[in-house]
Chain A
Amino acid sequence: MAYLDHAATTPMLEEALEAYASAARSVGNPSSLHAAGRSARRLVEESRERIAAALGARPSEVIFTSGGTESDNLATKGVFWAQRASSLNRTRVIASAVEHHAVLDAVDWLGKHEGAVADLLPVDQQGRVDPERLAERIARYRDEIAVISVQWANNEVGTVQPIHALARLAADAGIPFHTDAVQAVGQIPVDFAASGAAALTVTGHKLGGPVGVGALLLGRDVPCTPLLHGGGQERDVRSGTLDTAGVAAFAVAVESAVKGREDYAARVGELRDELVQRVRAAVPDAILNGDPADRLPGNAHFSFPGCEGDALLLLLDAQGVFCSTGSACSAGVAQPSHVLLAMGADDDRARSSLRFTLGHTSTIDDVDALLAALPGAVERARRATAWKTPR
């Protein structure tokens, strides 16, 4: 089997598994006052410090959450509510058109239910936001903007955004800027303080930690209304008993991924380049989507003209090659990717795409397995598009 879907989730690192198992064997709620609680709290706070150190944040800026979706929702809704509470004019929410659905749907919901003006920033053909576009928005709507959210790197096509430039524009205008860095951490350099962002989303299971634990890095001076009310465990912004074992494993994974990032990027990037080159040789009309150079090291994303992505997925799956169409499903039905549509692709090209993502366990064998299966799959998928023609 060849697992080429690390952007969906990647195997846990051995050291993270060990940290998890070790912490999970101990009892103790980090909010309890007795020794067992204190022991758990110590582990949580050490983990917080490790994550802060790895990502250029202060420990108090690390708010543990259940993962990327919660962090994205907290950053968009929570910051929106807090901004609007301070100034009724601040109802505009700006996000890039290629955000993950955790941001995009939260913004859409704010528009439909909270009186927000949802304002999507266009992207170029490689999926990149032009800082000029944001500068124009800020010049025009400066006092109306509640929050701006642009992902650090795209989860489908892997394009890296000019985050520093975008965050600076927002910071200069005094507008909170959130970035979803779920795909970026451990892949490319991410430094919260240096980025100038007010909030940053990171999650465990994309970098070798467990599923179900992540964090929102939230500047200490950034007001944010909670989504979850209760014990107020996380700076009163997020409630819920902390998952000590999950947090400990998450911290180990973040630290390992960030420390090993350069070697990882070199090795996986080389593997990815070989994958791209061989796919192009095998399927000469395949189109590489996203920025050819400034992209995540493990990401290769193609459109295969004349194919349907979900047909290719089925055929590759049957050959033990696991990849993704990269786009969201609705009732299990593949929708044309909003990312590719935003990049100017037509419906057919958007539906014909497939994402291959490499990770820390990837080897050349995975690339070999893909290339052994791909040409036959493409040929069959092309024949299968004929079914669309009504009789």
Chain B
Amino acid sequence: MSGGVDSAVAAARAHEAGHDVTGVHLALARNPQTYRTGARGCCTLEDSRDARRAADVIGIPFYVWDMADQFHENVVDDFVAEYAAGRTPNPCLRCNEKIKFAAVLDRAVALGFDAVVTGHHARLGADGLLRRSVDLPKDQSYVLAVLTRAQLDRSVFPLGDSTKARVREEAAERGLAVAEKPDSHDICFIADGDTKGFLERRLGSAPGDIVDSRTGEKLGTHGGAYAYTIGQRKGLDLRVPAPDGRPRYVLSITPKTNTVTVGSREELAVDTVTAAKVIWHGESTPVECEVQLRAHGEVVPATVTVAGDALTARLHEPARGVAAGQAIVAYRRDAGGDIVLGSATITAGVRSADLETARV
């Protein structure tokens, strides 16, 4: 129970359904003061009190579990290391994979609990299939797709059939004071929301070149390649304008040479995505499906092939801003909510020869 409205209502629903529910708030900060304060985050003392208050209203026991060490090791340090390696991590996904549905779940099962209930917006019904929430803008199946079958079997998402608006209404009806609490958006362990500053403090300054993809010409310098993300257009601060006067985008980050490569919007397009660390739920491949390449990103129709621990997606429409480190999640369209077929961690976005000649 983060102290937010979703987990409070999820706990209330699970309790009402007759389960023996115990509320758990995760203490994730080694020093609670350093984390985000107020309603915007998920790890503060105030949030802990909000969660406790909600548990009291629901009428369930409540405990704070100290997961600060696991969180730092698996989420914060991983976040920094991924950026240092030129990739773009998703810490919420990592937290689900390593903390909420791993460290917490393991401890809970050992203590005699059957499952972890969370306030994620996703559906997980009797058929065992993970599906998008009915509230598509709030859908969180993308950051849950990393869960294995064994993890899903011990997960309960009571909110997937409800819109966020309905969840807020229900919280108010249940007398939960968190009903009006604003949504959290940013990364909970970056107190001021300044990811670049956070990485700078962790990784130090590492000046390098910004180069043109076609000519190799040095267009400018950067203070650390980790501050850039594939597809980024703003903040490049290039002194040399492009010959055609059109905007330039980050195409790739090469940690070895500490180089940020930029180019045109066309060059950003990829039509093949390769990925590793595959979680696949058994559908035989190649399979025609849709893939999502970042949180809240568009879906793209694709042919997905899984071979061992490698996944390849041939996109039927080019995609832009495909960053290594992000997840690719494959969905099958379904009237009862699009079904997660599997997910993997993107290793590269590739421009095939066709795309090169087509000049999208």
The contact size tier of chain B is 20 to 34
Minimal Cβ-Cβ distance residue in B for A332: B64
Minimal Cβ-Cβ distance residue in A for B62: A332
Which residues 356-391 in A have Cβ within 8 Å of B in the complex? Answer: 380-381, 383-387, 390-391
Asked if B63 and A331 make an inter-chain contact with CB atoms under 8 angstroms apart, the answer reads no
Secondary structure dominating the interface of A: helix
Asked if A332 and B111 make an inter-chain contact with CB atoms under 8 angstroms apart, the answer reads no
Contact of B103 among A329, A334, A387 (CB under 8 A): A387
With A391-B98, A391-B102 as contacts: A332 and B52 at CB distance below 8 Å: yes
Q: Complex Cα distance A211/B96, Å? A: 43
Q: Mark B99-137, 1 if CB is under 8 A from A, else 0.
A: 000110011001110000000000000000000000000
- Cβ of B213 within 8 Å of any chain A Cβ, yes or no, is no
Q: Complex Cα distance A310/B63, Å? A: 9
Q: Complex Cα distance A390/B71, Å? A: 10
Which residues 131-161 in A have Cβ within 8 Å of B in the complex? Answer: none
Minimal Cβ-Cβ distance residue in A for B63: A314
Contacts of A385 in B (CB 8 A): 110
- Cβ of A194 within 8 Å of any chain B Cβ, yes or no, is no
Which residues 208-243 in A have Cβ within 8 Å of B in the complex? Answer: none
With A314-B22, A331-B64 as contacts: A387 and B107 at CB distance below 8 Å: yes
Q: Complex Cα distance A238/B65, Å? A: 40
CB distance from A375 to the nearest CB of B (A): 13
With A332-B63, A334-B66 as contacts: A381 and B27 at CB distance below 8 Å: no
With A314-B22, A331-B32, A332-B52 as contacts: A387 and B110 at CB distance below 8 Å: yes
CB distance from B142 to the nearest CB of A (A): 22
Q: Complex Cα distance A381/B45, Å? A: 26
- Cβ of A311 within 8 Å of any chain B Cβ, yes or no, is yes
Asked if A380 and B110 make an inter-chain contact with CB atoms under 8 angstroms apart, the answer reads yes
Secondary structure dominating the interface of B: helix
Q: Complex Cα distance A334/B64, Å? A: 8
With A387-B103, A390-B73, A390-B74 as contacts: A331 and B48 at CB distance below 8 Å: yes
- Cβ of B25 within 8 Å of any chain A Cβ, yes or no, is yes
Asked if B70 and A390 make an inter-chain contact with CB atoms under 8 angstroms apart, the answer reads yes
Q: Complex Cα distance A318/B52, Å? A: 17
- Cβ of B182 within 8 Å of any chain A Cβ, yes or no, is no
Q: Complex Cα distance A117/B268, Å? A: 65
Contacts of A380 in B (CB 8 A): 110-112
Point out which of A310, A311, A329, A331 has the most chain B C-beta atoms below 10 A from its C-beta: A331
Minimal Cβ-Cβ distance residue in A for B111: A384
Contacts of B63 in A (CB 8 A): 310, 314, 332
Q: Mark B63-100, 1 if CB is under 8 A from A, else 0.
A: 11110001001100000000000000000000000100
CB distance from B276 to the nearest CB of A (A): 18
Contacts of A317 in B (CB 8 A): 61
With A387-B103, A391-B102 as contacts: A332 and B61 at CB distance below 8 Å: no
Residues of chain B having any CB pair with chain A under 8 Å: 20, 22, 25, 27, 32, 45, 48, 52, 61, 63-66, 70, 73-74, 98, 102-103, 106-107, 110-112
A sample of 25 cross-chain residue pairs with beta-carbon separation below 8 angstroms, ordered by A number, consists of A314-B63, A314-B111, A315-B111, A318-B20, A318-B61, A331-B27, A331-B45, A331-B48, A331-B64, A332-B25, A332-B27, A332-B48, A332-B63, A333-B64, A333-B65, A333-B66, A380-B111, A381-B111, A384-B107, A386-B110, A387-B106, A387-B107, A387-B110, A390-B74, A391-B98
List 4 other contacts, CB 8 Å, given A332-B52, A333-B27, A384-B107: A332-B25, A332-B27, A380-B110, A387-B106
